[in-house]
Structure 1
Amino acid sequence: MKSKLPTEWQELSDQLGFKEFTPIQTQLFEPLLAGENLLGVSPTGTGKTLAYLLPSLLRLQKKKAQQQLLILAPNTELAGQIFDVCKTWEEAIGLTSQLFLSGSSQKRQIERLKKGPEILIGTPGRIFELIKLKKIKMMNVETIILDEFDQLLDDSQIHFVEKITHYAPRDHQLIYMSATAKLDQEKIAPNTRTIDLSDQKLDNIQHFYMQVDQRHRVDILRKLAHVEDFRGLVFFNSLSDLGSAEEKLQYRDILAVSLASDVNVKFRKVILEKFKDKQLTLLLATDLLARGIDIDSLECVVNFDVPRDIETYTHRAGRTGRMGKEGYVITLVTHPEEIKKLKKFASVREIVLKNQELYIK
């Protein structure tokens, strides 16, 4: 596959230390380059963004037409992340992209459109607003990519997605990507080829459970924060538990911050950067974030509660052990039934915390 890339990209992949392409990147390349409608499924952390980006960017015609490629993401974190990856590869071959997020200045975004980007990346609500204002003109869009399509096609976002695709030319290419194959076939365009690599075993991620009394769960987070070199992304099933845990941890001087959905875009970015730079020990989040965060070499994901279903567990776990690196997941459990449920999601072992150290039982 590398030999089929432009020289600029071959040099860039050497600089970035790409030794080999992942299975999803290799299998999607030719069909996407040929303009096929495609549904790609592969575990989180296996390089799905580049799998669709590289062939899609190669299909674009520089300076010929603005707004040729549209990439939709279900939340601001994921859209921002795609934008960052896209910039690295587009600049090398003379293309430009722009990012469109709800919660950011619409006026500034309209100004950026005047620069004539070939690639548009954003959340469905804001993209549709700009289409209605006739600022985004869909007649040149040849490809639409739905990253985390299962979220984009659920009840809260599908009406925007359907309206957006309705404005595109009839013969546009549609690409659906996700880590889980949970989908309603009726929502997928006809003549869509499926490449499903979801059964890849990610041996680099270890899965554990820790038995703890309900009332001691926040205290366990505090103790984990004192483990040497520990850094954890902690997922909560409920916003009220998240808010309460943040308050208690900060009161005990733990470097813990929540990334709740009401935090504005700019501040969310600051929080994420601090966590990436290891200035924060615990980042607290709900499942909104599970899809949109890529932290290089994140050591640990902690489930404050047992996730509701296997899809949720998969997406949370996929925040660690990315691109073949080591990682582990710890789920806090109180009742034997929770362990039973957890064993349906992953092969788990018990782990205990003693004297600021973790031991596998």
Structure 2
Amino acid sequence: MIQGKLPTKWQARWQESGFSEPSLIQEQVFEPLSKKETIVGISPTGSGKTLAYLLPTLLQVKPGEGNQLLILASSQELGIQVTDVARLWAKDLGLKVQPLIGGANSKRQIEKLKEKPEVIIGTPGRVLEMMKQKKVKAHLLQTIILDEADQLLLPETIAFVQGILKFTTEDVHYAFFSATADVALPAIEKIVTKELEVIDVTDLNPKNTGVNHYYLNVSKRQVVDTLRSLSHMKDFQGFVFFNQLSELGSAEEKLLYNHVPVASLASDQSKEMRKLALEHFREKKIRQLLTTDLASRGLDVANVPYVINVEVPMTKESYLHRGGRIGRMGAPGTIVTLVQDHTVRDLKRMTKELAIEVTEVYLHGGQLTIERPAKIEHKEKKSEEKIKKVAKNTEKKTEKVSHSVAKKKKIKKKKDQKNKGARKKRTPTIHE
């Protein structure tokens, strides 16, 4: 157990944080990172990856010797979150932590860098900018951690990462962390020539039975009304994920018009607005945080019970990462995906591939229930009876029309025969 290897101050903090025992990823990577081995840590979202890399690497950092540990984050929100966690544990060791987050005031960051922080946490673009200005002493760096490595090594960001690595020395050691091995590994192998030790605990993690997966069948026009109804449920608070940013904006506008306490977290917002939305969500001032896959990575908001997918996610990875916002470290939670008749099969195919059981749920009486409400059954029964009644009436009308047509044909036939006979009588013979 890693607790016995922690400093006395950290053991007390471990207890204060409410941890009983380390997660699998924390246990598995502690020794390799302590030995400065280059590793790839793969573990599901919500399994404690941040502390998994922070604890062993912070112990290697020496106070007062400048920039030694660099942690690259895939988003501003993740960078801020990792900074908060790192500061909490670093202060016990007398270490300074400096965030270099894109969107923040760069002049202020430069002033802080003059204090020679031992730990730097930032987004790739801003970190590279500071390295080019020689504000970050890249030659002093001993360890670089890439959190959410698969996102950091996407085509739009990999150039920044490669630029950062060019500034570092050959003996720097790396650690990569991700929740999806099949996506992360090919990208990592493109930039690292060193031998990689892959530590994948995905299959070792017991299935989190505390998280329930449901789908709710509603029409597209009912989506906003459904979100409004969900927000009124007792103890409801949840991340609401959209596939498209335009749909998010439209839904937010309608929900706010109806006085539903919501906020959005979107890529087109300023850093201050995004920070404020997260603060209000954490303080439970709002019941729904509307967002895209922007918030599906790394964000840790304690005790959020729901994740709502407004539509079926685009990929399996997206479904997993979104769901990772709840059920963290074994906590209970509920995932509800809104579907229509033509999309429910897509969800079932996706969850089947993920070996996840998904159940239909109904919104009735202000609550979610897996039992078909009698009201729905009565409505469907009434609808079936109406269909049968219409069909019966149609059949009667058809019979009546058919009978009427047949009668008219019969009358016409008799009339034609009568007229034919009359014409025959009037027709003169040849003898006449």
* TM-score clears 0.5: yes
Tell me the CA shift for residue 247 of structure 1: 0.7
Asked whether 1:319 is paired with 2:325, we answer yes
2:306 is matched with: 300
In the alignment, which of 173, 195, 214 is matched to residue 220 of structure 2?
214
Asked whether 1:194 is paired with 2:198, we answer yes
Rounded to whole Å, the distance in 2 between the matches of 1:155 and 1:211 is 36
Asked whether 1:74 is paired with 2:56, we answer no
Rounded to whole Å, the distance in 2 between the matches of 1:322 and 1:180 is 17
SS at match of 1:145: strand
8 Å CA contact 1:287, 1:312 repeated in 2: yes
2:363 is matched with: 353
Which residue identity does 2:37 align to in structure 1? E
Larger strand share, 1 or 2 = 1
Tell me the CA shift for residue 302 of structure 1: 0.5
2:171 is matched with: 171
Which residue identity does 2:164 align to in structure 1? I
Tell me the CA shift for residue 223 of structure 1: 0.7
Tell me the CA shift for residue 109 of structure 1: 0.2
1:94 is matched with: 94
2:111 is matched with: 111
User: Which range moves more in the overlay, 28-37 or 11-20?
Assistant: 11-20
User: Which range moves more in the overlay, 108-117 or 333-342?
Assistant: 333-342
Question: TM-score, with normalisation over the residues of structure 1?
Answer: 0.97
1:122 is matched with: 122
CA deviation string 1:252-287 (max 9, x = no partner): 111111111122212222211111111101110011
> Alpha carbon RMSD of aligned pairs, Å?
1.2
Question: TM-score, with normalisation over the residues of structure 2?
Answer: 0.82
Tell me the CA shift for residue 203 of structure 1: 2.0
Which residue identity does 2:305 align to in structure 1? E
In the alignment, which of 227, 230, 238 is matched to residue 232 of structure 1?
238
SS at match of 2:212: strand
Rounded to whole Å, the distance in 2 between the matches of 1:257 and 1:14 is 34
Percent same amino acid at aligned positions? 47
Tell me the CA shift for residue 331 of structure 1: 0.5
SS at match of 2:66: coil
8 Å CA contact 2:68, 2:119 repeated in 1: yes
TM alignment of 1:48-67, pairs within 5 A: 48-63=49-64, 65-67=65-67
In the alignment, which of 261, 273, 282 is matched to residue 267 of structure 2?
261
CA deviation string 1:75-132 (max 9, x = no partner): 1000000000001100011111100111111000000001110000000000001111
What is the aligned residue count?
360
Rounded to whole Å, the distance in 1 between the matches of 2:135 and 2:150 is 27
Which residue identity does 1:196 align to in structure 2? D
Tell me the CA shift for residue 188 of structure 1: 5.1
8 Å CA contact 1:306, 1:342 repeated in 2: no
CA deviation string 1:29-88 (max 9, x = no partner): 00000000000011111100000000000111111x211000001110000000000011
Rounded to whole Å, the distance in 1 between the matches of 2:209 and 2:198 is 25
Higher gyration radius (CA): 2
Asked whether 1:21 is paired with 2:31, we answer no
Which residue identity does 1:27 align to in structure 2? Q
User: Which range moves more in the overlay, 238-247 or 199-208?
Assistant: 199-208
Runs of 4+ in 1 over 4 A off after TM superposition: none
Rounded to whole Å, the distance in 2 between the matches of 1:236 and 1:147 is 24
Larger helix share, 1 or 2 = 2
CA deviation string 1:155-205 (max 9, x = no partner): 111000011011111011110001111231532522110001122222221
Tell me the CA shift for residue 137 of structure 1: 1.5
2:33 is matched with: 32
In the alignment, which of 342, 345, 348 is matched to residue 337 of structure 1?
345
User: Which range moves more in the overlay, 182-191 or 162-171?
Assistant: 182-191
Rounded to whole Å, the distance in 1 between the matches of 2:143 and 2:210 is 34
- The structure whose RCO (Cα within 8 Å, separation 6+) is larger is 1
SS at match of 2:223: helix
8 Å CA contact 2:71, 2:146 repeated in 1: yes
In the alignment, structure 1 segments of 5+ residues that lack a partner are: none
Which residue identity does 2:189 align to in structure 1? E
8 Å CA contact 2:348, 2:358 repeated in 1: no
1:46 is matched with: 47
